[in-house]
Chains A and B, each alone.
Chain A
């Protein structure tokens, strides 16, 4: 990963008063899109977005451009917060019907206007087996649990879990080969941090 000098998050971490508003301008669309998919209502999504930005600014010093891009870091913080909210409320959003794009996972959105990183990630995703795409789409984009995915797709629960894991591993491998993310740097970073145990409340 190439360092991004003077990235927004680095400036937020340094206390640059203008940086948080730049952060809002650049990432609010991304965070809002993620929140709308995983929250139970627009009002819930609005509160979630607010929580995410506060978390993001407080976590800005942890951003390491050698591990992943700012966009990925923001998405990771957002997902964590959204997942935590869902767990707290013990009501993952129910998606009774499968969206058309999931019914045919090979049908991809037009990426002609997308950034390079987005194209690479989508290309990596398209290299997965269709059933892996289907499971990960339902899990990541729609917040369905393994059990809900099994019900929605008719796959055995164990198969769903296997597709999820192998699909994620494949994505990680492809993205690492392309230099989009750096798991090795991440490993070094983790060794300096906390363990992700339930007792730590590390998430």
Chain B
């Protein structure tokens, strides 16, 4: 069957459109193309390759270095995906009960357009932080500490327990968490957010990402690289590997006074 010039043009135009703007072909388009002897996939893919080549040439002719913080975040993602987790994990409870949703907005814990402010799960370049609550409270007498409450997020799989400890005089903290599902760090990670009374509540401080291993209770030392003047709450969200700058508010845990 010989395609009419118009039908052929229309299909090839669709291939270029998909190559430039994404999307896909309708089943009937593919069927018509096949009947006319046009390989739409090949046409589209090769045009997409040409477009990518032009895009790459333009981008490399005007090189731009990404923010150092972004490169560091990418490195964290790479580590999460290609190296074994170094976060200590102990036993977890897997009771089916779930804490009820705490209205984050009412609690003042609004995770909206989150500004990334660098603080990270401690990496122990400096003096190691206390990794158990008793030691932490003993060495940080000014620390605040609040119990975690789970939301209705599916990642809350057990009886939530544990507390968030944070000392605003040293900007150091400790997370003790139990009741979250183990995560596959190649697919998603947990991300900590810290709310500071001195900052706009829409822009909590990014506390870095962490993982929960199988059947695990985790204790995670935290060291802020920026000053947290007066912490008023913590939240844990479920995010893509490496965490995000703008959270979609998938909150799993909240800790507040």
Contacts and interface: CB of A to CB of B under 8 A. Distances in A.
A76 B66 CA distance: 19
Contact of B82 (A15, A47, A83, A172): A15
B74 A50 contact: yes
B49 A47 contact: no
B198 interface: no
A151 interface: no
Given A114-B60, A196-B25, A183 B46 contact: yes
Contacts of A73: 52
A109 B60 contact: no
Interface string B14-30: 01111111111111001
B85 interface: no
B142 interface: no
A146 B17 contact: yes
Nearest to A118: B57
A180 B16 contact: no
B182 interface: no
A136 interface: yes
A17 B241 CA distance: 16
Contacts of B52: 68, 72-73, 75-76, 79
Interface string B44-76: 111111111111111111111111001101110
Given A49-B70, A186-B42, A196-B45, A21 B78 contact: yes
Given A47-B244, A172-B49, A125 B42 contact: no
A198 B23 contact: yes
Nearest to A33: B59
Interface residues of A, number: 84
A187 B45 CA distance: 8
B244 A168 contact: no
B184 interface: no
A203 interface: yes
B240 A198 contact: no
A130 to B, nearest CB: 15
Contact of B56 (A47, A121, A201): A121
A32 B66 contact: yes
A109 B56 contact: no
8 contacts: A47-B246, A53-B74, A54-B240, A75-B53, A76-B49, A121-B57, A171-B50, A172-B46
Given A21-B75, A54-B77, A117-B57, 10 more contacts: A29-B65, A50-B73, A121-B56, A121-B57, A122-B61, A125-B54, A140-B20, A169-B16, A187-B39, A187-B46
